[in-house]
């Protein structure tokens, strides 16, 4: 479904660029922007994610893009997985095992298996203060979250500055919409919620 996926991606990009042209703070804000019900679909998802996570809308661009493309493909296949820079939209009939990269992990990665029973689709999003080009205000090797919608992990990653923050951020995540969290910070590892760690 290459052409359908490409068309959906270009449409998402067009919606974001078109909207941002009239709202200059859309690209640069590190704080949530007010919801705009007249915004195009992918932009509304970014605004909602920013509000839910207390971050700017661009923190949600990878997840919102993955979800937009994934939903466009649902009419063509019963199983769809779209990965976009660490943010993954998943709609499958069978459980999936995913690999989270983390330089400080003994093997360089950790395998997780989400248990999002009752959801037809969900998002798995990873943010890092050490890997990749995206802006992060934290120092975690990786913070991965599971959510009903393809959400952002940026806010939780921003809160992990030191190893002692891992347990605090895991507890804080209980007051957010996320269903599961995995945090890797140097020699510290923490997880909670709807997932299992796979050997």
Name which of 29-38, 41-50, 113-122, 138-147 the model is least confident about: 138-147
Q: If we measure between CA atoms, which residue out of 110, 122, 175 comes closest to residue 151? A: 122
Specify the higher pLDDT residue, 177 or 61: 61
pTM of the complete model: 0.86
103 vs 141, residue with greater confidence: 141
With a cut of 80, say whether residue 134 has pLDDT above it. Answer: no
pLDDT exceeds cutoff 90 at 137: no
pLDDT in tens, 155-169: 777 788 888 888 998
């Amino acid at each position: 479904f290459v052409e359908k996926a490409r068309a959906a991606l270009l449409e998402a990009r067009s919606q974001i660029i078109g909207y941002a042209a009239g709202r200059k703070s859309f690209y640069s804000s590190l704080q949530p922007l007010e919801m705009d019900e007249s915004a195009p679909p992918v932009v509304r998802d970014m605004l909602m994610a920013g509000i839910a996570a207390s971050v700017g809308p661009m923190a949600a661009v990878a997840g919102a893009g993955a979800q937009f493309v994934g939903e466009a493909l649902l009419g063509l296949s019963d199983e769809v997985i779209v990965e976009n820079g660490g943010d993954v939209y998943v709609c499958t009939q069978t459980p999936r095992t995913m690999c989270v990269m983390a330089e400080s992990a003994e093997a360089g990665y950790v395998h997780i298996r989400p248990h999002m029973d009752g959801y037809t689709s969900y998002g798995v999003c990873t943010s890092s203060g050490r890997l990749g080009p995206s802006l992060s205000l934290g120092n975690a090797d990786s913070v991965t979250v599971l959510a009903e919608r393809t959400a952002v992990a940026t806010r939780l990653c921003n809160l992990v500055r030191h190893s002692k923050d891992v347990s605090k951020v895991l507890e804080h995540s209980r007051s957010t919409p996320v269903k599961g969290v995995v945090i890797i910070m140097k020699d510290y590892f923490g997880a909670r919620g709807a997932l299992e760690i796979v050997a």
